[in-house]
Structure 1
Amino acid sequence: MAVIVALLLLPLAILSAVSMTVLNEQGEAFRASVEESVHTLLPLTTLEHYLQRALVDELLAESHQAAPDFAGLTDSIDKSFSSLRVGTYSQDLPQDVMNDAHLAWMHAKPGVQRLVEQVRSVHAVVPQDGTDYTRQELERAIQDVSTARQHLSAVIEARYERAAAQRHRQLVGLVWGWVLTLTVAIVLAGAFLYSLVRPMRQLAQAAREIGNGRTGVRVPVEGQDELTALAACFNDMAASWETTRQTLVTEATEDPLTGTLNRRATLALLTAELEAGLRAHQPFSLLVLDLDRFKSINDRFGHAAGDRALCWVVDKVRGLLREGDHLGRYGGDEFIVLLPRTGKAQAERIAQRIVQAVGEAAVREPAYPGVSVGVATAPDAGRDATALVEAADAALYKHKQRHRAP
């Protein structure tokens, strides 16, 4: 789980840091672009303004105003061109436009320098033809400075557009990065939730199946997290429950001495098999076995010998039964044999084999008893368990009367 949480948070943290870095760089670049534009264009614009004002006044010297610092402005313009050519972003500048701007400034610079010289002699008397010449110089200087400013403005504008396009690409990349990261985060979150929900659903389904009495239910044990440990504990609990359940079922249905069905289980199975036979219109036979001389064996050899005699008879009878037949202890030394899909004639043959096999073995061993058998077949002898057992008991009593030992 810790790995999944780290995979969710790490890309978001990295992308957040990258976004902050990119946005900060864009902010710094924008401020640098604004400052560069101001520092580059302001000298040219100021110079153009002063030249136009001098032209309106016809001659700056005649206005008796303080002379502007034309020399300082020209130096600032020269420095601006130098910084643009060798600056950090010089490779981004369109060279043809830059060359045009610099050429226009070089044309304007001599006229500005001559104007500077004329301003220095402001108190001198200027002839009329000199005034006309100055106006022409002013007009040419204004034109050249304006051309230089326009070209330089185009340079800065092109550079700004290129930077804006780059910023746009970066922002688009950030947006797509966020979209992809969030998509991956959603997928990972879905996988994380599925990894939580799937084991819980498996546990819930397994618990429902166990609640319905199904055995052999287990949940997959995958991974090394807390849910895996819970699944392993659940499987251990299910195995323990099945062992306990099987023990309880065995104790509730099995005779502890002989290993046959006990009375309750025998009667329950008798009812179920009888009803199934009646629904299928098939015969169902019942044998009631009673041990001969069992009381005398107990009195003569002891109760341990009597227990051994019971187990011996059970082993003999089981060896004579077919697959699908059932043997149960009805009580004391009485047993019941359930014979599904068996008619009366066949049941009597099975009873005769049992009596003969047990009797022949008992003759050779005084501690082993013989056996008497009563047969009853449904539906002729009855259509319920009680009637069938009573009919078999009656047949058993007649058999004992005929074969009672002297």
Structure 2
Amino acid sequence: MRLGRQLRKWSVGQRVAMIVALLLLPMAVLSAVSMVVLNEQEMAFRESVEESVHTLLPLTTLEHYLQRALVDELLAESNQSAPDFSGLTDSIDKSFSGLRVGADKQDLPLAVMDDAQHAWMQARPAVRRLVELVRTTRGSLPQDGLAHTREELERAIHDVSTARQHLSFVIEARYTRAAAQRHRQLWWLVWGWVLTLTAAIALAGAFLYSLLRPIRQLVGASREIGAGRTGVRVPVEGQDELAALATCFNEMAENWEVTRQSLVTEAAEDPLTGALNRRAVLALLETELESCLRTQQPLSLFVLDLDHFKAINDRFGHTAGDRALRWVVEKVRGLLREGDHLGRYGGDEFIALLPRTGKKQAEVIARRIVQAVHDVAAREPSYPGVSAGVAAAPEDGRDATTLIEVADAALYTHKARHRAR
């Protein structure tokens, strides 16, 4: 949530740019790093191959020449050119020196290296003597010298072969370690890709969430308003375009609620008296009657009719008649209980709904209202008295029309008795 609030301080365009950067920049960096690592590995492999060739080739060549010299009995043909034993010896010495220089890198098995160099040092004197022998010999050797030379050759071949084998182990061990190192580098590279892309995707997801969350809130709020709910608002977070849109949406929702309430009031309220109008009070009567029958609770209503209202209009004018209507409504509302409803049925006739109220209790309330209005009307000629007729469900009827007819009949009976008196 805190990260989302921080991100909402950025504009939508900035966050989109950050999403693109988070997805492309790590890939570009990792691609460059991968190219560097792979190029280094290729160069290291090439150097390893060249080192193997330059290190083992002189020993192998020397061993070959010694084998051939043994077979040919030290250049039986005087006209044949002698191999360059001296150059091969120097090349082998340089190879061992070069390997020794790299020994401090801890990538050489020193024991095997020592064995290889020891074998070469044993073979080297014999090879040196063979070099001198080749230089001085221009024909066949005496029989006793030939036997001695043959022994020298065999020892030299054995020592050179031993040195070559040990040196092969050295090169193989060095190559194995280099291959393991390259393998680790590749694994680190793969894990670098995985972790970097995971982090980039997670951050990009956070940026996308900061964009999509307010949009989903706006969509949800719009659907709730479309369903008719009131009081719907979206939280305003951050300083971006979506926050401005949320502010405008809340203002629009508030204006819509005010307009809707005005329309509802105009549709359900009598504009003169403020009581429910005919349509609203009849709809409320149907709803309360249905609830009464379903829950088996009593419901009562009484119809009020103003006495001599036409005479007040004729004598004091229609303004006084309007004032008399408003006064009666205010007086009756003050005597009704919380939860009771009053509506103007038409002209100077009103209906009061009393949910969860029996007929006897409703008659008591009606008489109290009639008496309170009569007491004031007796002192003020411009205020009328009222007559009331009570009906209750379910004993007097189970539908709105029947109940109103029963209440009207009771009302006119009350008026007839009042005129008779």
TM over 0.5: yes
Q: Which amino acid in the other structure matches residue 97 of structure 1?
A: V
Which secondary structure does the structure 1 equivalent of 2:77 belong to? Answer: helix
Q: How far is 1:321 from its partner? A: 0.8
Number of residues paired by the alignment?
Answer: 406
Amino acid at match of 1:64: N
- Contact kept, 8 Å, 1:355 with 1:370, in 2: the verdict is yes
1:4-403 → structure 2 map (5 Å cutoff): 6-7=21-22, 12-60=27-75, 62-87=77-102, 90-123=105-138, 126-178=141-193, 206-218=221-233, 235-403=250-418
Q: Which runs of 5+ in 2 are unaligned?
A: 1-14
SS state at 1:216 partner: coil
Contact 1:218–1:238 under 8 Å retained in 2: yes
* One-letter identity of the residue aligned with 2:333: R
Letter in 2 for 1:134: T
Q: Tell me the TM-score normalized by structure 1.
A: 0.86
Deviates more, 1:146-155 or 1:261-270: 146-155
Mean Cα deviation higher: 135-144 or 192-201: 192-201
Residue by residue over 1:225-270, the C-alpha shift from the partner in whole angstroms, topping out at 9 and shown as x without a partner, is: 7766666665555444433332222221111222211100111112
1:292-335 Cα offsets, whole Å, 9 max, x none, are: 23333333433333222211111110111122221001112211
Higher relative contact order (CA 8 A, sep 6+): 2
Provide the C-alpha distance between the structure 1 equivalents of 2:118 and 2:390, rounded to a whole number of angstroms: 132
Tell me: CA distance 1:275–1:100, structure 2 relative to 1, closer, same or farther (3 Å): closer
1:149, distance to aligned residue in structure 2 (A): 1.2
**Gap change, CA 1:62 and 1:308, over 3 Å in 2:** same
Partner of 2:4: none
Query: Which secondary structure does the structure 1 equivalent of 2:49 belong to?
Result: helix
1:1-40 deviations in whole A, cap 9, x for unaligned?
A: 5455655555555544444333332222111111000001
Shift of 1:41: 0.7
Stretch moving more, 351-360 or 294-303:
294-303
d(CA) in 2 for partners of 1:34, 1:26: 12
Tell me how large the CA RMSD over aligned residues is.
3.2
1:376-399 deviation line (CA, Å, top 9, x unaligned):
334444332222222222332233
CA distance in 1: counterparts of 2:129 and 2:394, whole angstroms: 142
Aligned residues of 1:8 and 1:188 also touching (Cα < 8 A): no
Distance 2:78 2:112 in 1: 37
Q: Is the 8 A contact 1:44 1:145 kept in 2?
A: yes
Contact in 2 for aligned 1:209/1:217 (Cα 8 Å) = yes
Higher mean C-alpha deviation, range 245-254 or range 166-175: 166-175
| Deviates further, 278-287 or 249-258 | 278-287
In the alignment, is the contact (CA less than 8 A) between 1:57 and 1:63 conserved in 2? no
Deviation at residue 107 of structure 1 after TM alignment: 1.8
The answer to whether the Cα contact below 8 Å between 1:94 and 1:158 also exists between their aligned partners in 2 is: yes
Find the residue that maps to 1:166 and give its secondary structure. Answer: helix
Structure 1: runs of 5 or more not aligned: none
SS of structure 1 residue aligned to 2:304: strand
Structure 2 counterpart of 1:322, which letter? R
Give 1:401 shift: 3.3
SS in structure 1 of the partner of residue 267 of structure 2? helix
The change in CA–CA distance for 1:91 and 1:380 in structure 2 (over 3 A counts) is: closer
The one-character-per-residue Cα deviations of 1:132-157 (angstroms, maximum 9, x if unpaired) are 33222222222222122122111111
What code does the residue aligned with 1:390 have? E
Q: Which moved more, 1:137-146 or 1:10-19?
A: 10-19
Q: Secondary structure at the match of 1:62?
A: coil
